């Protein structure tokens, strides 16, 4: 899998996580009727978005750790009844799905790896 594919996959999954968090806290299963301040968690996902879209290795490194906060939230809220529990389980799947291509991209674009591929004929 090329680094371009990893960027595309990571970007698509990151967008899906943003959409999920927004819909979850605004309409589907908000903590309080009419929405809650937890919708701001989706805004935090916008911080690394530009670096993810542009394939910046450093962004991939720290965002792969940042997304684990969302994984933890999903694990904590997965036992909630109804739609909130379902949204939490979807969040777990999305965070795990985005974590691995981000780590793989960071590994493949390491300066030591780039030097090795440049030397090989």
DSSP 20-44: HHHHIIIIIS-SSTT--GGGHHHHH
> Do the domain assignments include residue 76?
yes
Tens-of-pLDDT digits for all 121 residues of the chain? 899 999 999 999 999 999 999 999 888 888 787 777 888 999 999 999 999 999 999 999 999 999 999 999 999 999 999 999 999 999 999 999 999 999 999 999 988 766 666 565 5
Kindly report, residue by residue over 31-40, the tens digit of the pLDDT.
787 777 888 9
Q: Does residue 47 lie in a domain region?
A: yes
Has residue 121 been placed in a domain?
Answer: no
Instruction: Answer yes or no: is 7 within a domain.
Output: yes
Is 102 inside a domain boundary? yes
Query: Within 13 Å, how many C-alpha atoms sit on residue 110's CB side?
Result: 7
pLDDT tens-digit readout, 59-80: 999 999 999 999 999 999 999 9
CA distances from 81 to 22, 65, 84 (A): 19, 28, 6
Task: Identify whether 67 is part of a domain.
Answer: yes
Domain tally for the chain?
1
Task: Note down the domain range covering 24.
Answer: 3-116
In this structure, is residue 46 part of a structural domain? yes
């Amino acid at each position: 899998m090329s680094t371009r594919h990893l960027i595309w996959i990571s970007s698509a999954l990151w967008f899906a996580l943003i959409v999920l968090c927004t819909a979850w806290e605004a309409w589907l299963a908000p903590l309080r009727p009419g929405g809650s301040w937890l919708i701001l968690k989706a805004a935090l996902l916008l911080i690394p978005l530009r670096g993810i879209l542009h394939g910046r290795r450093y962004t991939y490194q720290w965002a792969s750790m940042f997304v684990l906060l969302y994984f933890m939230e999903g694990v904590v809220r997965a036992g909630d009844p109804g739609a909130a529990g379902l949204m939490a389980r979807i969040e777990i799947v999305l965070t795990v799905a985005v974590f691995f291509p981000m780590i793989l991209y960071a590994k493949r674009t390491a300066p030591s790896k780039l030097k090795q591929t440049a030397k090989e004929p």
